[in-house]
């Protein structure tokens, strides 16, 4: 029995390495960002509003758990997920929090209520809408995330460039803006700008990592706008 117990303790200790690595909310945010594609620590720090030092420390914990790997690219060091299973882990944790914690809905509703932007469509609804009116799908993430993977046929127009490039968009078609997923605010800001300028616009609730998990096709490549 002692040998049996030692065996089980050793196995669960290895599993616990993963739980300890992801127990910090900022590390979960880094995983969410890396689900979009490989990035430098400088880029991850900027997008997560962390110092480079703090981002590096959190990435080190994720590397020690082998959830994240790093490789040199010229003078830069590029961080990426170990594989798609790491992104699946993040999506599973997010889904469980949505299922079990009413606070998730309360925080989300409170944030969206002030923006008067509660409508969000999903991939299945989008497919139906394409059959009827062919909306314009707009990827408002930074261009490097678009290049790493995007909805087939989507236009890349980062949200910080949107106000200066509205003339590139058709006024007579619905604009569907998406970013990193249901809790990314870039698409919300994009819809606000578009509606203020007379466009009919809604946001997509899901992002690239959600579509990959559903087995939907993803395109890679440079800016298609």
Q: Catalytic residue numbers?
A: 179
Residue 1, C-beta contacts closer than 8 angstroms, at least 6 positions apart = none
Angstrom distance (rounded) from CA 51 to CA 57 = 10
Q: Check: CB of residue 65 under 8 Å from CB of residue 18.
A: yes
Instruction: Return d(Cα 178, Cα 73) in angstroms, integer.
Output: 29
- Residue 68 and residue 62 in contact, taking contact as beta carbons nearer than 8 Å: yes
| Contact in structure between 149 and 208 (CB atoms under 8 Å) | yes
């Amino acid at each position: 029995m002692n040998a049996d117990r030692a065996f089980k303790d050793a196995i669960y200790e290895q599993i616990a390495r993963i739980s300890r690595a992801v127990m910090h909310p900022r590390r979960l945010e880094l995983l969410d960002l890396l689900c979009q594609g490989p990035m430098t620590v400088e880029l991850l720090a900027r997008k997560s509003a962390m110092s480079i030092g703090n981002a590096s420390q959190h990435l080190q914990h994720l590397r020690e758990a082998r959830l994240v790997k790093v490789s040199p690219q010229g003078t830069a060091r590029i961080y990426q997920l170990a594989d798609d299973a790491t992104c699946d882990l993040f999506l599973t944790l997010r889904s469980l929090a949505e299922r079990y914690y009413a606070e998730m809905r309360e925080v989300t509703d409170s944030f969206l209520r002030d923006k008067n932007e509660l409508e969000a469509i999903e991939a299945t609804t989008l497919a139906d809408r394409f059959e009827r009116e062919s909306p314009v799908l707009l990827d408002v993430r930074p261009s490097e995330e678009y290049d790493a993977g995007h909805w087939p046929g989507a236009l890349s127009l980062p949200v910080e460039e949107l106000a200066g490039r509205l003339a590139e968009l058709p006024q007579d078609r619905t604009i569907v803006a998406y970013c990193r997923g249901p809790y990314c605010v870039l698409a919300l800001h994009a819809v606000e700008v578009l509606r203020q300028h007379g466009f009919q616009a809604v946001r997509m609730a899901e992002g690239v990592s959600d579509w990959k998990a559903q087995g939907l096709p993803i395109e890679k490549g440079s800016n298609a706008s």
